A and B are shown apart, each in its own frame.
Chain A
């Protein structure tokens, strides 16, 4: 059974007039347990709106969201529970930090779940480890950290609730390449270790290619594609029409293929490209 399911979901921000445009329109998707889904799309395509439905922050104007097969809007209780089962980390989450210490801030979510002291402590330490925040930083004020550290503390705050599904909205926005790679590695390690479902929004095709097992492409409020990385990236022309760019290496390998060179087309990162070229040149050197 899929862990999350959207059935004919549409959302209009202002419901006053029925002619108002929908931020998302007729979305139908199923997300299986343990998957790492990358959501990609142009700015304003409805990515953030969609993910805010998964933990009941936004109520669908039409349609249903099923979590473990049950409608999350069934009752007040189920909505409240969905907030803990589905951990959503907003874009620029560092602006939500407020506690005196890093430790307390990470503990805010678990505390709201009414866990015991020991459980909270365990959850906080584990989450901090995933994001690479050492125990020596626990007593620091979150406002004294660097931008990248703040972001990681904020993500840890959501991870500490140990949600069944972790959603990150543009977790790498505004970070330098090093900070970005760090966050991506962290997401991968978290997923590998916990085997839980992770959904992340991004507008970098490279990032998605590096991490995701499945890609959801949003275009103009609708789901344009929802498939494996290989299947989605092979439709490069359609993606370009939507204003999305396939990674440069992919383009190079595609044109090599067109010119008759026997290379794989499913190359999305520079590392993969390097390996493929080495294979082609007959060398198995590193």
Chain B
């Protein structure tokens, strides 16, 4: 159902990971994703998976939530893995020569790495959103992007827009649900028919949704102006975020992991 979408979902818990500074968490996530693509052998893969499991355990996000985040991509993972399995034809063929298809040992390893990479990538980014509130996240992005102000990019405006967008995701989902029910009550058939029919069937849902979104946006802008909202420089924050010891420690750890993976790549044979 439409309610199963978990993008930008926050999972409230008290953990070290939750308490890390959001800016650091974004940097850590990016560094980790880079590492996912650096690995060249099973040793590296082991380090990646172990790090991810350790982080997940530390974050106290339940295993069920993690599974929920990879559920929507299962199909993509299987599809790309299978495609690569047949596409990659280097190496020793594992199937009898007489068969019209061939699967090689290299293809198998390649497909496996690809699947693990996509899955770890998605889990790492969901961990970021699970453990960071949208407000913190936007603040962090705003800070990290602040150098762009030098070339006159309106970073503050961008951050406000993002906060508002995240805030309205649940509202919009609820609204979509309601409109869908209302149109179904008028006999709208959303489940059967060919692809063209189904796209056409979305019109009675999308138009009311757009109309109400514009109305909401208008009301919101008005309400913000009434409370003297001004954009740009000089806005201060109620909560000041400071980099603490554990943030530095986390940075050191990711540097060590990266170094480790580079060393593993240098000293052990590459499999991909």
Q: Which residues of B contact A112 (CB under 8 A)?
A: 186-189
Size of chain A's interface in residues, with CB distance under 8 A?
23
Q: Are B203 and A98 in contact (CB under 8 A)?
A: yes
* Complex: A84 Cα to B181 Cα, angstroms: 14
Q: Which residues of B contact A157 (CB under 8 A)?
A: 186
| B94-116 at interface with A (beta carbon < 8 Å) | none
| Smallest beta-carbon distance A168→chain B, Å | 11
A31 CB within 8 Å of chain B:
no
| A75-98 at interface with B (beta carbon < 8 Å) | 80, 83-84, 87-90, 93, 95-98
A108 CB within 8 Å of chain B:
yes
Chain A interface SS verdict (over half): helix
Select A84's contact among B179, B187, B204, B212, beta carbons within 8 Å. B187
| Smallest beta-carbon distance B1→chain A, Å | 11
Question: What per-residue 1/0 map shows which CB atoms of A136-177 lie under 8 Å from chain B?
Answer: 000000010000000000000110010000000000000000
Q: Which residues of A contact B189 (CB under 8 A)?
A: 80, 112
Q: Are B182 and A96 in contact (CB under 8 A)?
A: yes
A-B CB pair tally, cutoff 8 Å: 54
B151 CB within 8 Å of chain A:
no
Select A109's contact among B179, B187, B203, B207, beta carbons within 8 Å. B187
What are 5 A-B contacts with C-beta separation under 8 Å?
A90-B178, A95-B211, A96-B208, A108-B204, A112-B189
Chain A contact residues, CB within 8 Å of chain B? 52, 55, 57, 80, 83-84, 87-90, 93, 95-98, 108-109, 112-113, 143, 157-158, 161
Given contacts A55-B185, A83-B187, A96-B179, 17 further A-B contacts (CB under 8 A): A57-B181, A57-B184, A87-B185, A88-B185, A90-B182, A90-B185, A95-B208, A95-B211, A97-B208, A98-B204, A98-B211, A108-B204, A109-B186, A112-B187, A112-B188, A161-B186, A161-B187
Chain B contact residues, CB within 8 Å of chain A? 178-179, 181-189, 203-204, 207-208, 211-212
